[in-house]
């Protein structure tokens, strides 16, 4: 369904290379944030069926460092929509194959994306949660949306 939460999901994987590193030898946080912004943009584009721009990034939490050679998976998931804005939860998971462990969350954030047509904020389709997981994401996104609105 093109109005459901799962339709807008965006996921990408990358191997972290030396060009992604900072002076500490870890993957630079800005590189990871760029991946997250791209995933949020793709999720927003899929839902709005058109251009979207980043309006705000909230609650960036670095949970685990990412190292050169790690494979990261970046997942952007629409959680709530307002009139022209979309709340998107984005997470990065890291696979350390030398440890043969399960992927672990490394970085999370909430992105607010705004749908634009000819540079003007434009209404987006409503979001229809269909599964219990969708409803939980929707409630989280709605909460974050109204928290942000209250701060403005």
Q: What is the topology classification, in CATH, of domain 6-151?
A: Thiol Ester Dehydrase; Chain A (3.10.129)
pLDDT category of residue 43 using cuts at 50, 70 and 90: very high
Residues of the chain above pLDDT 90, percent: 71
Chain segment 105-147, per-residue pLDDT in tens: 999 999 999 999 999 999 999 998 888 988 999 999 999 888 8
Residues 42 and 53: their CA atoms lie apart, in Å, by 10
pLDDT value for 17: 95
Residues 110 and 79: their CA atoms lie apart, in Å, by 9
* Residue found by looking up tokens 């672990």 in the block: 104
Chain segment 74-95, per-residue pLDDT in tens: 999 999 999 999 999 999 999 8
For residue 63, the SS3 value is: coil
40 and 115 in contact (C-beta within 8 Å)?
no
pLDDT value for 24: 87
Chain segment 25-35, per-residue pLDDT in tens: 899 999 999 99
Confidence check: pLDDT of 38 > 90: yes
pLDDT value for 29: 92
pLDDT value for 59: 83
pLDDT value for 103: 87
Residues 98 and 70: their CA atoms lie apart, in Å, by 9
Residues 79 and 91: their CA atoms lie apart, in Å, by 13
Complete DSSP assignment for 105-138: EEEEEEEEEEEEETTEE---PPPB--SHHHHHHH
């Amino acid at each position: 369904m093109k109005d459901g939460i799962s339709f807008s999901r965006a996921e990408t994987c990358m191997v972290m290379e030396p060009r992604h590193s900072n002076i500490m030898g870890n993957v630079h946080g800005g590189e990871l944030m760029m991946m997250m912004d791209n995933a949020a943009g793709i999720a927003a584009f899929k839902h709005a069926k058109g251009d979207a721009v980043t309006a705000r990034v909230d609650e960036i939490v670095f949970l685990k460092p990412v190292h050169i050679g790690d494979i990261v998976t970046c997942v952007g998931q629409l959680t709530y929509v307002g009139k022209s804005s979309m709340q998107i939860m984005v997470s990065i998971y890291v696979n350390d194959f030398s440890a043969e462990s399960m992927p672990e969350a490394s970085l999370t954030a909430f992105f607010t994306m705004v749908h634009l047509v000819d540079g003007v904020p434009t209404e987006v389709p409503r979001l229809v949660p269909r599964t219990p997981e969708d409803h939980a994401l929707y409630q989280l996104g709605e909460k974050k949306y109204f928290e942000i609105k209250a701060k403005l």
